[in-house]
Structure 1
């Protein structure tokens, strides 16, 4: 299909956070417990919860990797002995104003043939797990972050840039307060960690009825709930196998890649088996940068569970998934299989631009849609994503 004839809506686009993203609006009393910058051996480092945080190797983002420089690596086409070699030459952040300026980003979207995009954090998706042992600091951090995000990017800037505020459910009243702030600022999509929720009363499923007041407000507002990949605090499973539990981007351990666990599958299982969509049928969920390899296995488990104990579900959980869950696959996933599993109307185009592991040119996602009709390509590349920023009221 000729790229020039099609506009895209990218459901996995990113900014690189300003250095004061968590600090500009931080309660000064919480600064030392949450985020602060320090100098360590002449290098600027981010302290989170009183420890140097390594989720992002260089959270100043200067210099920064070129978009898509790891494409061949993630497609399994090349092998490297040192991940630093795979990145190649880095760029100066000053040469990329679109990474931190929304008007420059809009200009780039136009050049990329993108009508709009969902915008997600780069650093932010690793911070909930880093602070979950200090819930007041966690809540203060994301209250500050969301106000920075509203100021620098906006939640629906010119109906093209849809930045998703980050909501932690660790305290339901705090979550409702953040949600109301987002709604007051014309939010269309909110973002969550794909994992169990750490609360003062222990671990909870995000579908636990204690969160119903929050989800009712989401349901009534008609906004979309996104679960973007990040540090899901699932690394505790690695300790069972004698591996490090610290999350470090781009550090490769073969066993960590091969162990059979999926925080996104478990999160979606919790939402559906917990009856969230039966209580709040207006809620739409999209999973972003989690790929789609997990979908088939989860649907098979749902099907078996429903046959064995149908009384435990209000309806067939496979149908619930197909009605309420949208999936942004990795471009290297089996997209034809995903179409058979959930239908083309719930497949999202996501490029992960401008990350190193994403596509250098977002609309190159089209190259992986051979076998789809022109109408199906239009759905995946534009219509499905655009529909999620239309309020579902």
Structure 2
């Protein structure tokens, strides 16, 4: 059992973006090409690149469901429809948008610190991929809002991750340098192939070598966080809409097999990025963990068949360099057996509906899965805490 008074470090917290998160610092020449607000049929809608964006049903976040109300739904134990699970909506709490109010909420939740990620922002890269200069401008503006409103290491408790897109490799290097100058401890990126000026590009392509070299030199953590990736295009091959809409998933959307996070990690391995840059640490957050054992089985076969292509067993590389925050409904015992308790992190997703209302309750899942007291402390605190400290 966790010791009495134990305080955790959460690898997955979220803010709800201010209305001007993408517009407060936007460069004037990009104002109409990026994010705008408009009244459509009597409702406030977000326009991205001049098109109504449906990634979030209410991107103003004016009324929200309570944290964790969908936990039973995702565990497969809920009764009733998805809509019924949301319950009565409430006005946005100050803790969702104000960092000092959030610190007070973290005290109540038993959190000494947490990594913070976008809610709306993780769905915006694909919406602007057709206009790479605008895409880069939008996230330059976003990151300056984020640093201003939340800070990248506020009170050494709130660690907000600036968002980096690789769509323009030179811009990615410049934006990373700016983030490092402002004390960023980690960056967040979207998994999957990247749209660049020459078309779809692997994150392991040599064109990104200056970026990965800087990441390696800086000793920061690269987080791949769930969101809308290029793999949404695969859905249209099966007759589904390629526009990702939260909470409007069809059964087919959840059954399509490719995992963009697994393929992204595989690309960084097979293109030699991790071999060339031994200080790069990767974290997969809000991607679940069912993909991890599958990837390890594939890597085992590849290493056996093409040992000459690998400087070392790629499974050992990942056990050294990859941290994972599983979903609470995942098989935690299997994940521990594959990557070890040293590489698993609490990720409550607070205050999102699909997360855990009380982050410390995750310890019950760990205990039920046979994790020792020492392993529980690692998962609930020390593993994630280590990732917000730059390597010396």
TM-score of the aligned structures, taking structure 2 as reference length: 0.98
- Of 242, 246, 269, which aligns to 2:243? 246
Report how many residues are paired: 390
Partner of 2:389: 390
1:335 is aligned to 332
Distance 1:102 1:270 in 2: 36
What does the per-residue CA deviation read over 1:170-227, in whole Å, with 9 as the maximum and x for residues that have no partner? 1111111111111011110100001111100111111211111111111111110000
Contact 2:2 2:373 in 1 (8 A): no
Which residue in 2 is equivalent to 1:32?
A: 32
Q: What is residue 373 of structure 2 aligned with on the other side? A: 374
Question: How many Å apart are 1:389 and its aligned residue?
Answer: 0.7
Q: Helix, strand or coil: the match of 1:331? A: coil
Contact 1:38-1:46 within 8 A present in 2 as well = yes
Q: 4+ runs of 1 displaced by more than 4 Å? A: none
CA distance in 2, matches of 1:136, 1:80: 45
**d(CA) in 2 for partners of 1:175 and 1:379?**
33
1:60 alignment partner in structure 2: 60
Unmatched segments (≥5 aa) in structure 2: none
Distance between the aligned counterparts of 1:272 and 1:61, measured in 2? 38
Match of 2:187 in 1: 190
Instruction: Name which of 320, 323, 326 aligns with 2:320.
Output: 323
CA–CA separation in structure 2 for the residues paired with 1:167 and 1:302: 28
**1:195-274 equivalence runs, <5 A:** 195-274=192-271
In the alignment, what sits opposite 1:344?
341
Q: Shift of the alpha carbon at 1:134? A: 0.5
State the partner residue of 2:43. 43
Q: Distance in 1 between matches of 2:376 and 2:289?
A: 18
In structure 2, C-alpha distance between the alignment counterparts of 1:204 and 1:313, rounded to whole Å: 22
**Equivalent position SS for 1:5:** coil
RMSD (Å) for aligned C-alpha atoms = 1.0
CA 1:48–1:3 in structure 2 vs 1: closer, same or farther (change >3 Å)?
farther
Q: 1:3, CA displacement in angstroms?
A: 6.5
| In 2: Cα distance, 1:220 partner to 1:178 partner | 15
> Which aligned pairs between 1:97-176 and structure 2 lie closer than 5 A?
97-176=94-173
Structure 1 residue 233, shift from structure 2 partner: 2.1
SS of match in other structure, 1:12: strand
Answer yes or no: is the 8 Å Cα contact 1:4–1:113 preserved in 2.
no
Deviation at 1:2, TM superposition (A): 4.6
Q: Is the 8 A contact 2:12 2:347 kept in 1?
A: yes
State the 1:4 CA deviation: 3.7
TM-score, normalised to structure 1's length? 0.98
1:2 and 1:321 mapped to 2: Cα distance? Answer: 28
- Conserved 8 A contact 1:3-1:366: no
| Structure 1 residue matching 2:381: 3-state secondary structure | helix
Shift of 1:245: 1.2
Secondary structure, aligned partner of 1:369:
helix
* Aligned match of 1:88: 87
